[in-house]
C-alpha cells in the first residue's frame, strides 16, 4: 500500500521556502477555506527546507480573551516552551510581548484561525501586536523568527490586515491564498490509491472537489478504492464516520444557524432567481416580511459559499441574477446527504445509503459541467489538448430556449467551441440536434461570432466506439473524461 504523500501546491511551497530561507523577520498571511491544507502546507515547507528553527503553533478559539489566553498557555506546554524564558501571558498585552520575544528567539509562530481577532474585544490586542510587529520589522535582519497567520474567513482577514484603518495594515510581508487542488493533483492522488476511472473521478470530485483533507479521510478509512455505497457508508453514515458532522462543524457553527434555510434552498434548487428565493424563504419561515438580501450578501462576500451569476454577456450591474452553491462538498451535503444522515436512528441504513447515492447522481450532472469547464482551463494553461482558450463565456442563459453547457473561445484563431455535457451518454446522443439549434440562437444575438470557425463537442464521463461514431457523424467532436484528463499529471 502506498503511503499518503503531499499533493500539489508546488508554487506555494516554493514561495514559503523562499520566505523561510531569507533568515530574517517575516509576517506571512495564508488564507483559504477550511480543510484546504493551510497548516499542512506550512509543515511541508519547513520539512522540505529542513528548518531547525523552533516552531510554535496554536489554533485561536472563537471565544473571549480568557479562552484565547488559555489556548496559548496549553500550546506553550505542548511545544515545551520554557516558562522561565517565555513567561505565560495573563492579558492581551503580555500575549503580544510573548509573541515578540519568541520571534526574537528564532521561533516560527503560527496562529491559526487568526480571523477571530477581528471579533469585538480584541481591538487593543491588534494595536499591541502592531507595535510588536513594527519593532521586529525595524530590526528585521537581526530577527530569525517570523509570524504566520492562517485564516479561513477571507473578509475578516482583509479587515484585520488590509483595511487602511486597521492597526496591522500594510505589515504583511508575504501573502499566500490557497484554493482547491488542481485536477492534475487529484488525478495523481486517485491513481496512487485506487483504480482511476471517469466514474470515480466524477463521484469523488463532486463530493470533495479539491479539498485534500477529505481525500485523506477516505484514504485513512481505506475506502478511496471502494465502491460508491461503501465509501458513503464509511465516510458519512457510521457513528465513527469522519465527515458525518463536518458540515455543521465548519460552516453551521460559523454561521450560527442564521443562514441554513437560504443555503439549503440554493443547494437543492440551483439557478433560482432572487424573487424565487425570497418567496421560498418566506413560505418556509411563515413570515411574509422575511428579507434575505443581507443574508445573501454575507454568504457571497464573507463566506464565499454562494455564487451570484449574471446572464451571459450581461453587464456587472445587471439586476437579473441567479444563485448557486460554490462549494461542492456543501452542495452535496445539503442536497443529497444531510437528510438521509439525519434519519439514521429511524430508517434502515441500506435504504438511506441508496437514497443518498441516488440524490448524488442527480447532483453530478451539474458537477460534470463544472468539472469539464475546469478541465478545459487547466489543459489550456498547461498547453495540453487541441483547444487553447483565451476566455470562456460564463453565466446563465437568459432566454428559456437557449442552453449551452460549454462555450470556449480562442480569439487568436477566431474559433469558438460549443459543448453539451451529459452524465448519461444516451442523453448526450439525443441532444445532438438541440445543441446546434441552441448555438444558432446564440449566434443570432452575438453577431460578432458569426464569421468565426465553429466547433461542436459532446462530453460524457465515458463514451464507447459506437457513441463516438454517432457523434462524429453529426460533426460533433466526442470527448469523455479519459480524453480530458490525458496528460494532466
Mark which of 120, 153, 177 sits at the end of a domain. Answer: 177
Does 342 map to a domain?
A: no
Mean of pLDDT over the chain: 91
Q: Which residue in 131, 133, 90, 87 sits closest to 111, CA to CA?
A: 133
Question: Which pLDDT belongs to residue 326?
Answer: 93
**Are 124 and 169 in a shared domain?**
yes
Query: Do 23 and 159 belong together in one domain?
Result: yes
Structural domain includes residue 168: yes
Is the pLDDT score of 285 beyond 70?
no
Q: What is the CATH number of the domain that holds 298?
A: 1.10.10.10
Q: Are residues 16 and 141 in the same domain?
A: yes
Is residue 295 assigned to a domain?
Answer: yes
CA distances, 269 to each of 274, 328, 363 (Å): 12, 14, 11
Q: What does pTM read for this prediction?
A: 0.92
Given pLDDT bands bounded at 50, 70 and 90, which one contains residue 489? confident
**Residue 24 to residue 129: CA distance in whole angstroms:** 18
Q: For residue 412, give the CATH number of its domain.
A: 3.40.91.50
pLDDT of 152 higher than 70 = yes
pLDDT (0 to 100) of residue 244: 93
Q: In the listed set 334, 357, 377, which residue is the last one of a domain according to the structure?
A: 334
**What pLDDT score was predicted for residue 283?**
78
Highest mean pLDDT among 40-54, 400-414, 416-430: 416-430
- Asked if the structure places residue 446 within a domain, the reply is yes
> What pLDDT sits at residue 297?
85
With cell 480524453, the residue in question is 483
Backbone Cα Rg of the chain: 25
Task: Give the separation between CA 311 and CA 394, rounded to whole angstroms.
Answer: 8
Same domain, 135 and 255: no
State how far the Cα of 260 lies from the Cα of 239, in Å rounded to an integer: 24
Provide the pLDDT for residue 399: 64
State the Cα–Cα distance between residues 377 and 164, nearest whole angstrom.
35
Which of 126-135, 196-205, 398-407, 476-485 comes out lowest in average pLDDT?
Answer: 398-407
Q: Given a cut of 90, is residue 279 above it in pLDDT?
A: no
Q: What is the mean pLDDT of residues 344-350?
A: 96
pLDDT tens profile 170-227: 999 999 999 999 999 999 999 999 999 999 999 999 999 999 999 999 999 999 999 9
Residue 473 domain flag: yes
Please indicate, yes or no, whether residues 169 and 271 belong to a single structural domain of this protein.
no
Same domain, 15 and 129: yes
Q: Give me the pLDDT at residue 208, please.
A: 97
Supply the pLDDT for residue 258. 62
Q: Over the stretch 34-46, which tens digit does the pLDDT of each residue have?
A: 899 999 999 998 8
Model pLDDT, residue 362: 93
- Is the pLDDT at 51 greater than 80? The verdict is no
| Residues 442-487 pLDDT 10s | 888 888 888 899 999 999 999 999 999 999 999 999 999 999 999 9
Long-range CB contacts (within 8 A, 24+) of 253-258: 254/153, 254/303, 255/303, 258/295
Q: Check whether residue 329 and residue 370 sit in a common domain.
A: no
Instruction: With respect to residue 52, please indicate whether it lies within any of the assigned structural domains.
Output: yes
3 falls within a domain: no
Tell me the residue range of the domain where 263 lies: 248-334
What length is written for the chain?
Answer: 489
Residue 253 shares a structural domain with residue 131: no
CB-count exposure of residue 465 (10 Å: 0-12, 13-18, 19+):
exposed
CA distance 439 to 441: 5
First to last CA, the chain: 20
Is the pLDDT at 281 greater than 80, yes or no? no
Q: Is the pLDDT of residue 234 over 80?
A: yes
Q: Are residues 392 and 326 in the same domain?
A: no
In the chain, the number of structural domains is 3
Is the per-residue pLDDT at 361 higher than 90?
yes
My answer on whether 28 and 159 are in the same domain is yes
pLDDT at 250 over 80: no
In the predicted structure, residue 71 carries a pLDDT above the cut 70 = yes
Q: Looking at 52-61, 97-106, 120-129, 400-409, which range is the least confident one?
A: 400-409
pLDDT at 254 exceeding the cut of 90: no
CATH number at residue 42: 3.40.50.300
Mean pLDDT of 318-333: 90
pLDDT confidence tier of residue 298, bands split at 50, 70 and 90: confident
**pLDDT over 70 (residue 286):** no
> What pLDDT is attached to residue 251?
65
Same-domain pairing of 324 and 401:
no
- Say yes or no: 27 and 155 in one domain: yes
Residue 454 located in a structural domain: yes
Please state which of the ranges 85-99, 282-296, 417-431 shows the lowest mean pLDDT: 282-296
Q: Is the pLDDT of residue 274 over 80?
A: yes
What is the pLDDT, as a whole number, of residue 257?
Answer: 59
Nine-digit cell at 212?
485534500
Mean pLDDT to the nearest integer, 373-387? 93
| Residue at a domain's end among 177, 194, 218 | 177
Amino acid at each position: 500500500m502506498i503511503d499518503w504523500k503531499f499533493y500539489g501546491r508546488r508554487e506555494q511551497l516554493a514561495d514559503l521556502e523562499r520566505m523561510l530561507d531569507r533568515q530574517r523577520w517575516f509576517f506571512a498571511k495564508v488564507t483559504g477555506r477550511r480543510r484546504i491544507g493551510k497548516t499542512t502546507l506550512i509543515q511541508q515547507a519547513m520539512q522540505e527546507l529542513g528548518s531547525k528553527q523552533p516552531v510554535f503553533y496554536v489554533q485561536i478559539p472563537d471565544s473571549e480573551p480568557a479562552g484565547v489566553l488559555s489556548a496559548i498557555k496549553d500550546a506553550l506546554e505542548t511545544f515545551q516552551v520554557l516558562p522561565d524564558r517565555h513567561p505565560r501571558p495573563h492579558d492581551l498585552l503580555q500575549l503580544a510581548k510573548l509573541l515578540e520575544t519568541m520571534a526574537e528567539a528564532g521561533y516560527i509562530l503560527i496562529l491559526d484561525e487568526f480571523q477571530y481577532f477581528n471579533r469585538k474585544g480584541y481591538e487593543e490586542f491588534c494595536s499591541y501586536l502592531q507595535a510588536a510587529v513594527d519593532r521586529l520589522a525595524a530590526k528585521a535582519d537581526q530577527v530569525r523568527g517570523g509570524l504566520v497567520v492562517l485564516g479561513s474567513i477571507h473578509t475578516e482577514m482583509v479587515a484585520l490586515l488590509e483595511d487602511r484603518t486597521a492597526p496591522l495594515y500594510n505589515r504583511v510581508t508575504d501573502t499566500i491564498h490557497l484554493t482547491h487542488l488542481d485536477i492534475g493533483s487529484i488525478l495523481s492522488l486517485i491513481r496512487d490509491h485506487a483504480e482511476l476511472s471517469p466514474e470515480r473521478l466524477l463521484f469523488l470530485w463532486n463530493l470533495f472537489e479539491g479539498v485534500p483533507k477529505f481525500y485523506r479521510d477516505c484514504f485513512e478509512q481505506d475506502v478511496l478504492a471502494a465502491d460508491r455505497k461503501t465509501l458513503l457508508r464509511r465516510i458519512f453514515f457510521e457513528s465513527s464516520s469522519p465527515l458525518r458532522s463536518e458540515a455543521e462543524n465548519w460552516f453551521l457553527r460559523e454561521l450560527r444557524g442564521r443562514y441554513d434555510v437560504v443555503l439549503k434552498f440554493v443547494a437543492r434548487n440551483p439557478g433560482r432567481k432572487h424573487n424565487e428565493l425570497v418567496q421560498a424563504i418566506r413560505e418556509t419561515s411563515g413570515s411574509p416580511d422575511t428579507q434575505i438580501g443581507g443574508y445573501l450578501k454575507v454568504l457571497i462576500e464573507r463566506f464565499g459559499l454562494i455564487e451570484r451569476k449574471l446572464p451571459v454577456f450581461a453587464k456587472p450591474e445587471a439586476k437579473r441574477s441567479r444563485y448557486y452553491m460554490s462549494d461542492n462538498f456543501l452542495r452535496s451535503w445539503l442536497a443529497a446527504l444531510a437528510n438521509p444522515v439525519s434519519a439514521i436512528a429511524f430508517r434502515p441504513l441500506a435504504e438511506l445509503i441508496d437514497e443518498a447515492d441516488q440524490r448524488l447522481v442527480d447532483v453530478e450532472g451539474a458537477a460534470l459541467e463544472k468539472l469539464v469547464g475546469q478541465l478545459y482551463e487547466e489543459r489550456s494553461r498547461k498547453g495540453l489538448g487541441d483547444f487553447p482558450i483565451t476566455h470562456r463565456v460564463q453565466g446563465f442563459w437568459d432566454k428559456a430556449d437557449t442552453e449551452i453547457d460549454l462555450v470556449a473561445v480562442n480569439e487568436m484563431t477566431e474559433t469558438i467551441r460549443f459543448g453539451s455535457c451529459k452524465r448519461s451518454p444516451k442523453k448526450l446522443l439525443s441532444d445532438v440536434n438541440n445543441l446546434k439549434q441552441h448555438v444558432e440562437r446564440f449566434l443570432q444575438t452575438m453577431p460578432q461570432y458569426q464569421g468565426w470557425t465553429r466547433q461542436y463537442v459532446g462530453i460524457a464521463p465515458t463514451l464507447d466506439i459506437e457513441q463516438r461514431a454517432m457523434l462524429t457523424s453529426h460533426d460533433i467532436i466526442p470527448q469523455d473524461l479519459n480524453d480530458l484528463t490525458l496528460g494532466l499529471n
